[in-house]
């Protein structure tokens, strides 16, 4: 196992951005940037023994700053959306940034994703990133100290451990916004990928992608991934929820979530032979099929086409601060909030 560190680029203000690369004995490599604590690449062997970088991303700092839709970035202090850019907590209404259509708060305004984090090599197989979000930034209460540790195991398992503590009560939900394409970032579609979700329900949304508050069974809908099926088979079905979001972009309710680490998703590409298993301690996972990618130029100068990457964003449910029926996302002052997500990769040969 090795960990190396190299200069990746420089921010407009002159701050340096570094890239850490973790490599295990199987030749799997994971690189992470100090900009956004961003997963920049995951390289695994395909069924023919060729190295495949299965993450969408960019070749330089400018790409991440100017063309990013959160590719690989850590998102917080509250991931996903908050309706009408406000929430009430203990009788006080908090107005937060409305950075999506001047209506919703998306990914807390991108604060964590576009900040340069402090970093250390934490172990022979791990890198730790830390960041402090100041009280009141983008309207969120509390000075929030965050730690994200990426650890690469010898079984091609990437562990992401999140810790956060605030000096004021505040909502916290942290995730990573990696876009996967198991055929490699060069491929222009994930519609041929097989997906299975350990989720019997999802949270339907309104026209602004804010959960209505209902928890709906997937039975008889395009959202039923309890048995393996390709991402593309139902994505364009004539269902209102798909039309509202241009395809899959919804929070799925993980079955029997109890705060322990459990499997929530499986994806596989027969073309590459690469399989992905996702595990989390969190109650929800946002399955997003890259509906709003519009040809942004990414790695190797190649465009990221619509539906050329998919996301499995482990999380508390969107708009949880406004939905008391959803799992509670508020952290008390001084309370350490911890979660873990694991992505494990396997290569299946013909």
Tell me how far CA of residue 341 lies from CA of 13, 51, 167, 280, 285, in angstroms. Answer: 33, 24, 25, 4, 11
Residue 247, classed as helix, strand or coil, is coil
Instruction: From first to last of the 350 residues of the chain, give the pLDDT tens digit.
Output: 899 999 999 999 999 999 999 999 999 999 999 999 999 999 999 999 999 999 999 999 999 999 999 999 999 999 999 999 999 999 999 999 999 999 999 999 999 999 999 999 999 999 999 999 999 999 999 999 999 999 999 999 999 999 999 999 999 999 999 999 999 999 999 999 999 999 999 999 999 999 999 999 999 999 999 999 999 999 999 999 999 999 999 999 999 999 999 999 999 999 999 999 999 999 999 999 999 999 999 999 999 999 999 999 999 999 999 999 999 999 999 999 999 999 999 999 87
Q: Are 42 and 345 in contact (CB under 8 A)?
A: yes
Hey, what are 267's tokens? 């994806």
Could you write out the DSSP letters of every residue in 71-83?
A: TT-EE-SB-SEEG
Kindly tell me the burial class for residue 272, based on how many C-beta atoms sit within 10 Å of its own C-beta (0-12, 13-18, 19 or more): buried
In the DSSP assignment, the letter for residue 322 is G
With 0-12 / 13-18 / 19 or more C-beta atoms within 10 angstroms meaning exposed / middle / buried, residue 108 is buried
Active site residue ranges = 177, 313
C-alpha distances out from residue 3 to 29, 148, 290, Å = 10, 16, 31
The helix (H) or strand (E) run that includes residue 171 is: strand 170-171
Output the CA angle 130-94-137, nearest 5 degrees: 30
Q: Which domains does the chain have, with CATH numbers?
A: 2-347 (2.70.98.10)
Which DSSP state fits 343? E
Token digits of residue 68: 């990013």
How much is the pTM?
A: 0.98
């Amino acid at each position: 196992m090795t960990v190396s560190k190299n200069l990746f680029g420089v921010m407009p203000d002159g701050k340096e951005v570094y890239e850490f690369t973790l490599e295990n004995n199987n030749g799997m490599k994971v690189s992470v940037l100090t900009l956004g604590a961003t997963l920049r690449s995951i390289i695994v062997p395909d069924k023919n023994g060729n190295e495949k970088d299965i993450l969408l991303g960019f070749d330089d700092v400018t790409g991440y700053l100017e063309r990013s839709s959160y590719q690989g970035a850590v998102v917080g202090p509250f991931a996903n959306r908050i309706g009408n850019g406000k929430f009430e907590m203990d009788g006080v209404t908090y107005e937060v940034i409305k950075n999506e259509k001047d209506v919703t708060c998306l990914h807390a305004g991108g604060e964590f994703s576009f900040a340069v984090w402090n970093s250390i090599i934490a172990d022979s197989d791990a890198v730790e990133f830390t960041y402090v979000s100041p009280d009141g930034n983008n309207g969120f209460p509390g000075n929030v100290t965050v730690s994200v540790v990426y650890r690469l195991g010898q079984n091609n398992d990437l562990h992401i451990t999140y810790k956060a503590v605030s000096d004021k009560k505040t909502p916290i939900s942290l995730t990573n916004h990696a876009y996967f394409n198991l055929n490699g970032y060069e491929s222009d579609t994930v519609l041929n990928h097989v997906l299975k979700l350990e989720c019997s329900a999802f949270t339907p949304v309104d026209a602004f992608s804010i959960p209505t508050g209902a928890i709906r069974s997937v039975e008889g809908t395009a959202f039923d991934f309890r048995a393996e099926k390709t991402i593309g088979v139902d994505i364009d079905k004539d269902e209102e929820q798909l039309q509202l979001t241009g395809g899959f972009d919804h929070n799925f309710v993980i079955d029997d979530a109890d705060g322990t680490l459990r499997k929530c998703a499986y994806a596989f590409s027969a073309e590459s032979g690469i399989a992905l298993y996702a595990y989390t301690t969190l109650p929800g996972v946002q399955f997003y099929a890259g509906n709003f990618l519009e040809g942004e130029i990414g790695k190797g100068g190649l465009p990221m086409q619509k539906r050329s990457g998919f996301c499995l964003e482990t999380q508390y449910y969107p708009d949880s601060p406004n939905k008391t029926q959803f799992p509670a996302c508020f952290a008390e002052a001084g309370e350490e909030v911890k979660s873990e997500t694991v992505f494990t990769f396997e290569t299946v040969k013909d």
